[in-house]
Amino acid sequence: MFDQAALKAQFPILSLSEKGHPLVYLDNASTSQKPVSVIDAINRYYREQNANVHRGVYGLSERGTEAFEGVREQVRHLLNARSYKEVIFVRGATEAINLVAQSWGRTNLCAGDEVIVSEMEHHSNLVPWQMLRDQLNIKIIKWPINDQGELSLDDLTGLITSRTKLIAVTHMSNALGSINPIAEIVKLAHQSDIKVLVDGAQSISHMAVDVQALDCDFFVFSGHKMYAPTGIGGLVAKQDLLEAMPPYQGGGDMIYSVTFDKTEYNELPYKFEAGTPNIAGVIGLGAAIKFIQALGFEQIAKIEDDLLHYATKRLTEIEGLRIIGTAKNKGAVVSFVIDGAHPHDLATLLDQDGVAVRASHHCAMPVMQKFNVPATVRASFGVYNTHEDIDRLVDSVHEALDMLR
């Protein structure tokens, strides 16, 4: 029998109280809480391993480098990348997308070229392409979603032209929970020699990802949504593309040799990792990967599918509540609005009961515009959430509505 209580006990923050009530944390699509194993790994690094990596010949530095590079291999294995050279450490998915836009994009795109961006994207997978548009005079083509919050491959086929160079699409929507058919999208794109960037910030902690099976050209993720620290994430990309891309930033570690006349750049993956990296963050990421792999994606899916279906059932029993995003293939995210209750007011009242949900546009304003709402209340689940958490959410919503109406 699976011990849900023992799993939840691994997360110290979940034992806290908020406004005099036990904390119910339902904002995992924004950031996940961290298990003791991750917190201890970071603490142990600073107590026992702290030294700069790649640069020292003394034991402390060499051990730190070995641990740091060991996590790169963990990421490679987690995502089934072909080589450690395809794993670039960055601050998160946002920086990874900006890296691709400014390095690959500025090298390979010219005025009139087109980048297709889905309507459900987080701003981090839209704004960098808008910035590139303003720099190069390229075009951004919107790939619309339907009323269920789904993308159509037929629609995509109609958008592709001879000038299409890249498709930027999320694996799983942070605002809707929709899971997109990435393998089919990539197959269609590659028939026309179009590259595909996949935003995996939401998917990486919820499902097994195999970048070779997906055959995507770029895959980005953030550690803080997968039980790891903030400020660490990754870009996993095909080696031939990375080899041809110029560095994104200049400085230490990304160089092989420097004179006042010229600089010779380092080999992959270090060519894209200028400056002292977030070493402790990488160590924490490694511990988070171990936590996820010990639990297993089969168990994670079982927990989160159950939570999604239970939450959907309980919430739809509330009069006047409408779920935004009803895709057939959906992750553990429920966004909703309720007649007569502004999402911000509702979330503020839920907080008085110790229930933490997100109420905003979720950095996905085009999604809100699509559904003609200013914001939604979003309950998003992690492996430590329970039916009791959802019951607390529903009870608190009823109490809030009594106050608002």
Where in the sequence numbering do the catalytic residues fall?
363
Strand partners, 221: 234
Between CA 240 and CA 382, with CA 173 as vertex, the angle to 5 degrees is: 105
Instruction: Kindly state the tokens that stand for 26.
Output: 């339902």
**DSSP code at position 327:** -
Type of residue numbered 154: D
Helix axis angle, 279-295 to 297-316, nearest 10°? 80
**CB 309: neighbour CB atoms within 10 A?**
12
> Cβ(41)–Cβ(284) under 8 Å?
yes
Q: Rounded to 5 degrees, what angle do the CA atoms 372, 378, 384 make?
A: 160
CA distance 69 to 377: 40
List, as one string, the DSSP characters of 284-314: HHHHHHHHHHHH-HHHHHHHHHHHHHHHHHH
The pairing of beta strand 164-170 with beta strand 195-199:
parallel
By the 10 Å C-beta count (0-12 exposed, 13-18 middle, 19+ buried), 159 is classed as: middle
The continuous run of DSSP H or E covering 154 comes out as: helix 153-159
